[in-house]
Copies of this chain bind each other. A is one copy, B any other.
Amino acid sequence: MTDERHPFDAAVALEPIGPGRWRGRTHPAYANMVGPFGGITAAVLLQAVLQDAARQGEPVALTVNYAGPLADGGFEIAAEAVRTNRSTQHWTLRLEQDGAVAATASAVLATRRETWSAVEAGFPTAPPAAALERAPTAGRPPWTRAYDMRFVKGAPRLAASPPPDADSLSLMWVRDEPPRALDFAALTALADSFFPRVFVRRASWVPIGTVSFSVYFHADSATLRANGAAPLLAQARAHQFRNGYFDQAGELWSERGELLAVTHQIVYFKE
């Protein structure tokens, strides 16, 4: 039997096993060096909220804390709506495997109204995606092949020889591969698709692991639908690397210059 779903849809599929409880399974297309790509874990956690019949509103904030390794195979998610207000809803989540907590998460949903709006961040200057070459994925973990990345600046250097850049800024066009219409779950995974800043800054590979990851959603579902499968312009930088941890701040823009989401994470690195 062939699975005709897009690999992303297969990877975030959840089976209900009780009120607020879901069973999922890691997917080989999103495998990382050890366990799954963190972005797909964040996406499946958000998916547990989005699929819940009690869900009210659209995502505004998501935080995922990666507490321990997740092995290839099945896992369970518990999702609880701890408070529902008139226009906001607060969720807490836990992802377990074999009785151990592998991740915790929280999500805030909101029903939005049209208000005065303004964007202050600048839409980055970049040549069109079609004018750039797709970044190579050979020798890289499987999840990198689930994305089409085209770097304007700050590709990971890993085995490169030139002296370290003064900064770790990366700017890339990125979309699901094969192409897939954008939605909140896919945008969440894309927000974690930046290579670790330490791979950009330094010429050597070091073990890393995100410990906490957040996405603030500025776009509503209509804006995401309008994007379709077009690539996003994604930018990330670090403020500091210090004693085993670095932070990363990122922005995800539509081709038309809409700031869809901002994202932050703090990442362990070993030296």
Contact = CB atoms under 8 A, between A and B. Distances in A.
B264 A242 contact: no
Contacts of A264: 214, 216, 249, 262, 264
Interface of A: 60-61, 63, 65, 67-68, 82-83, 85, 88, 90, 92, 94, 100-101, 104, 106, 108, 110, 112-121, 166-168, 201-202, 211-212, 214, 216, 218, 220, 237-245, 247, 249, 251, 259, 262, 264, 266, 268-271
Given A101-B90, A216-B212, A216-B247, A266 B60 contact: yes
A123 B22 CA distance: 46
Nearest to A111: B244
Contact of A120 (B90, B106, B238, B262): B238
A142 to B, nearest CB: 25
Contacts of A240: 117-121, 218, 259, 262
A203 to B, nearest CB: 12
Given A242-B218, A266-B61, A104 B90 contact: yes
A214 B270 CA distance: 24
A56 to B, nearest CB: 13
A197 to B, nearest CB: 8
